[in-house]
């Protein structure tokens, strides 16, 4: 009997190579775990059982031939906004109900090449808009650690699937924290790569200047395996860059990044102080001490523009959403609701097909882009995004990593954040990573009662290696 709850990708790969079990066996274990647990959790919108077993048999053939690939035979899940050719993909929205993807996302092609077994598509807030999965048109996902609470979002299904031991790894998308926040809420590792590291071709777009695909896993090592399997420049996404594209920033502190010794972690206390639950604040101080005991120097830093990140986010994101979602017109694909005439078709289709939060953001985006308000909101937000990015890059002249809590509170209850602004504030510490485009990882840091907490480690653009190494050291010291 394979216990997916305790098994890691790294261990499973070893066991598959040694022949302790087959990919079919581990895939069946995954399908059984879903059957057993997902009635209550609702992490999956659809399970690709036949396709997964076919992929598992293919993987077993390759393993027998001695082929070695990073994810060969490993069952993983994908958020419902990542396209798998021939399968339904709906971004958790009624407007795309029964839409069948006509091509593979680049990450899916890379997963095929890496030998992964794709188990199914996971639940998410509609078009990735939310922090709890409560905005899914197909009902919310429950947090496996406390089913009266949300798993976070928007990639809550992917997080819950990994945390509940239904799959060994999963992918989500992160526009303002949609990987890292649910990872913290469910006690696992979640990582957003540098903007430009992973192709978004085949990702249903939300806010294109911020969207990035990344992994969920139980361990930092697994997250790194999943990240490396899908990273790389892609001609189909012009924002992806060559691995060497990121310019070195100043290394004033004279450390050795190669040896990961003598590194400095910056802590922007003025950014988060006074915004944390008491237990989150205590847990964070313990995390700081742990890094200190690992030999990291801790330095208080000031990032005066960082506090504007969430405001910038709630201008740029809806603006891009209003533009990106213009394609859903009831003509080319997805839902069509018939109206009196051509334009009434649009009103009826989009009014009925988009859920409340999506309607709210499209209309808000229309406002901030409208003539008369454009300069005050959108123009100023773009300038502020540049100022934040410059400030964060400059901070990395003196420090190697930046540490904050991942979230101000642990997982909240269903319905607790019914006011939109209070829900938006759940992403306050993760949003700066998207605004500045820096790589960022949430790692489990302990518990508040039975609810998991996470800390968020951020590195300079292109420095995923530094990020993973520090995160792994922290994890091993736990």
Q: Which of 16, 384, 401, 460 binds other proteins (CB under 8 A)?
A: 384
Here the tokens at position 164 are 């509940």
Query: Tokens for 263?
Result: 């590194």
Question: Contacting other proteins (CB under 8 A), which of 255, 290, 299, 393?
Answer: 393
What are the start-end ranges of the H helices in 263-305?
Answer: 269-272, 278-293
256 counts as catalytic: no
What DSSP assignment string belongs to 97-134? Answer: TT-B-SS--HHHHHHHHHT-EEEEEE--SGGG--SSST
Choose between 165 and 176: whose C-beta lies nearer to other proteins: 176
The torsion of the CA quartet 35, 39, 44, 49, rounded to 10 degrees, works out to 20
Q: Is 110 a catalytic residue?
A: no
In terms of CB distance, is 232 or 262 closer to other proteins?
A: 232
3-state secondary structure of 280: helix
- Mask of contacts with other proteins, 213-252, x by CB under 8 A? ----------------------x--xx-x---xxx-----
**How long a stretch of residues is the chain?**
478
Q: For other proteins, which residue of 61, 269, 327, 394 counts as binding (CB under 8 A)? A: 394
Nearer Cβ to other proteins (383/477): 383
Report if residue 36 touches other proteins, rule: CB under 8 A: no
Q: Is 178 part of the annotated catalytic residue set?
A: yes
Residues 54-73 close enough to bind other proteins by CB under 8 A: none
Residue with Cβ nearer other proteins (66 or 247): 247
Q: Which of 88, 275, 290, 348 binds other proteins (CB under 8 A)?
A: 348
Q: Is residue 150 within 8 Å of residue 184, measured between CB atoms?
A: no
Q: How far apart are CA 334 and CA 313, in angstroms?
A: 28
User: Binding other proteins by CB under 8 A: which of 18, 254, 343, 449?
Assistant: 343
Among residues 93, 154, 201, 309, the one annotated as catalytic is 154
Nearest to 110 by CA among 245, 227, 237: 227
Q: Closer to other proteins at the Cβ: 45 or 460?
A: 460
Q: Left (φ > 0), alpha (ψ -120 to 50) or beta: where does 66 sit?
A: left
Question: How many residues sit close enough to other proteins to count as binding (CB under 8 A)?
Answer: 68
The answer to whether 418 contacts other proteins (rule: CB under 8 A) is no
CA 434 to chain centre: 11
- 353, 126 contact by CB (below 8 A): no
Residues 257, 277, 387, 475: which binds other proteins (CB under 8 A)?
A: 387
CB 368, min distance to other proteins, A: 8
CB 93 within 8 A of CB 126: yes
Cα separation of the two ends of the chain: 28
Q: Shortest Cβ distance from residue 337 to other proteins (Å)?
A: 9
Positions of E strands within 18-90:
44-47, 75-79
Tell me the closest approach of the beta carbon of residue 292 to other proteins, in angstroms.
31
Of 62, 297, 299, 359, the one binding other proteins by CB under 8 A: 359
Q: Does 351 bind other proteins (CB under 8 A)?
A: yes
Residue labelled with tokens 């035979």: 73
Q: Contact at 8 Å (CB) between 175 and 80?
A: no
208 binds other proteins (CB under 8 A): no
| 327 is a contact residue toward other proteins (CB under 8 A) | no
What secondary structure, in 3-state letters, does 394-448 show? HHCCCCCEEEEECCCCCCCECCCCCCHHHHHHHHCCCHHHHHHCCCEEEEEEEEE
Min dist. Cβ of residue 103 to other proteins (A)? 8
Contacting positions for other proteins (CB under 8 A): 99-100, 102, 196, 235, 238-239, 241, 245-247, 304-305, 308, 310-312, 314-315, 322, 326, 329-336, 341-343, 345-348, 350-352, 354, 356, 359-360, 362-367, 370, 376-377, 380-381, 383-384, 386-387, 389-391, 393-394, 419-421, 424, 461
Positions marked active-site: 79, 154, 178
């Amino acid at each position: 009997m394979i216990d997916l709850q305790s098994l890691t990708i790294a261990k499973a790969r070893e066991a598959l190579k040694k022949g302790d079990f087959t990919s079919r066996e581990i895939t069946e274990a995954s399908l059984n775990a879903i059957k057993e647990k997902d009635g209550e959790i609702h992490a999956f919108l659809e399970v690709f059982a036949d396709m997964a077993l076919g992929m598992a048999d293919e993987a077993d053939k390759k393993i027998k031939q001695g082929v070695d690939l990073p994810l060969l035979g490993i069952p993983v899940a994908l958020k419902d906004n990542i396209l798998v050719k021939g399968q339904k993909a709906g971004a958790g929205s009624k407007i795309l109900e029964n839409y069948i993807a006509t091509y593979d996302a680049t990450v899916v092609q890379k997963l095929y090449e890496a030998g992964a077994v794709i188990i199914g598509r996971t639940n998410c807030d509609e078009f990735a808009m939310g922090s709890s999965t409560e905005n899914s048109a197909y009902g919310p996902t429950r947090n496996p650690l406390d089913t009266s609470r949300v798993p976070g979002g928007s990639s809550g299904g992917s997080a819950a699937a990994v945390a509940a031991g239904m799959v060994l790894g999963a992918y989500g998308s992160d526009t303002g924290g949609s990987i890292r926040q649910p990872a913290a809420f469910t006690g696992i590792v979640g990582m957003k790569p540098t903007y430009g590291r992973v192709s978004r071709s085949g990702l249903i777009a939300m806010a294109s200047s911020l969207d990035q695909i990344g992994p969920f896993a139980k361990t930092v090592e697994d997250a790194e395996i999943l990240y490396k399997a899908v990273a790389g420049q892609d001609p189909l996404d012009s924002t992806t860059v060559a691995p060497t594209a990121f310019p070195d920033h100043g290394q004033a502190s004279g450390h050795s990044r190669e040896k990961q010794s003598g590194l400095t972690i910056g802590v922007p206390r003025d950014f988060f102080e006074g915004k944390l639950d008491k237990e989150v604040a205590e847990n964070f101080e313990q995390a700081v001490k742990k890094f200190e005991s690992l030999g990291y120097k801790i330095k208080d830093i000031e990032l005066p523009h960082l506090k504007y990140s969430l405001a910038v986010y709630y201008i740029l994101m809806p603006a891009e959403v209003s533009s990106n979602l213009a394609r859903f017109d009831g003509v080319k694909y997805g839902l069509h609701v018939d109206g009196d005439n051509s334009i009434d078709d649009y009103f009826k289709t989009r009014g009925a097909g988009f859920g409340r939060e999506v309607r709210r953001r499209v209309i808000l985006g229309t406002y901030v882009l409208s003539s008369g308000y454009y300069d005050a909101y959108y123009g100023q937000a773009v300038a502020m995004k540049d100022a934040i990015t410059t400030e964060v890059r400059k901070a990395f002249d003196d420090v190697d990593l930046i540490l904050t809590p991942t979230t101000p509170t642990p997982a909240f209850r269903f319905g607790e954040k019914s006011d939109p602004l209070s829900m938006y504030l759940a992403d306050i510490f993760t949003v700066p990573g998207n605004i500045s485009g820096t790589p960022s990882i949430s790692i489990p840091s302990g518990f508040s009662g039975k609810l998991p907490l996470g800390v968020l480690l951020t590195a300079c653009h292109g420095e995923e290696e530094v990020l993973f190494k520090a995160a792994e050291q922290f994890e091993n010291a736990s």
